[in-house]
């Protein structure tokens, strides 16, 4: 009688055996930034409601926004916006049939990351400059 030993193997490729690649990381980041932007849309509605309610509600919301936690949230919202925007522009080129060579895929991926950081930084510096005037 022949005895066989069955090993329990995953039925589909397991994420633990793959190295993260720029394309997969950016795909996940694009989804996360979309969710983050949805959450910040709710906070935008709260801010607009405070503006419409009156000076006391507006001052309360502004004090939260002006705190270091609020500023961190604002930077993350801004970065999420630019990351999602840059990724969306990249996908528009893909939808038009451009940029599918491996070298171009990685170049455009790094362009999305670098552009997101640069636009976030530039917008933040510009807002500080405008607030100081």
Interacting residues of 27 by C-beta distance below 8 A, sequence separation 6+: none
CA dihedral 89, 93, 99, 105 (to 10 degrees): 20
Interacting residues of 79 by C-beta distance below 8 A, sequence separation 6+: 116, 117, 120
Domains defined for the chain, CATH in brackets:
22-132 (1.20.1300.10)
What pLDDT score was predicted for residue 3? 65
What separation in angstroms does the CA of 24 have from each of 15, 20, 53, 69, 90? Answer: 11, 7, 44, 30, 14
Per-residue pLDDT of the chain (133 residues; tens, 9 = 90+): 666 677 776 666 666 777 889 999 999 999 999 999 999 999 999 999 999 999 999 999 999 999 999 999 999 999 999 999 999 999 999 999 999 999 999 999 999 999 999 999 999 999 999 999 8
The pLDDT tens digits of the residues spanning 93-123 come to 999 999 999 999 999 999 999 999 999 999 9
């Amino acid at each position: 009688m022949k005895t066989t030993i069955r090993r329990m193997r995953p039925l589909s490729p397991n994420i633990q055996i793959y190295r993260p690649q720029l394309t997969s990381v950016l795909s996940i980041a694009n989804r996360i930034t979309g969710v983050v932007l949805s959450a910040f849309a709710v906070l935008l509605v709260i801010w607009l409601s405070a503006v419409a309610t009156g000076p006391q509600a507006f001052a309360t919301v502004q004090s939260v926004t002006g705190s270091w936690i609020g500023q961190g949230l604002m930077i993350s919202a801004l970065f999420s916006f630019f990351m999602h925007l840059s990724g969306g522009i990249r996908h528009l080129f893909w939808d038009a049939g451009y940029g599918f060579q491996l070298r171009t895929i990685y170049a455009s991926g790094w362009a999305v990351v670098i552009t997101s950081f640069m636009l976030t930084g530039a917008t933040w510096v510009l807002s500080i400059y405008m607030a100081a005037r």
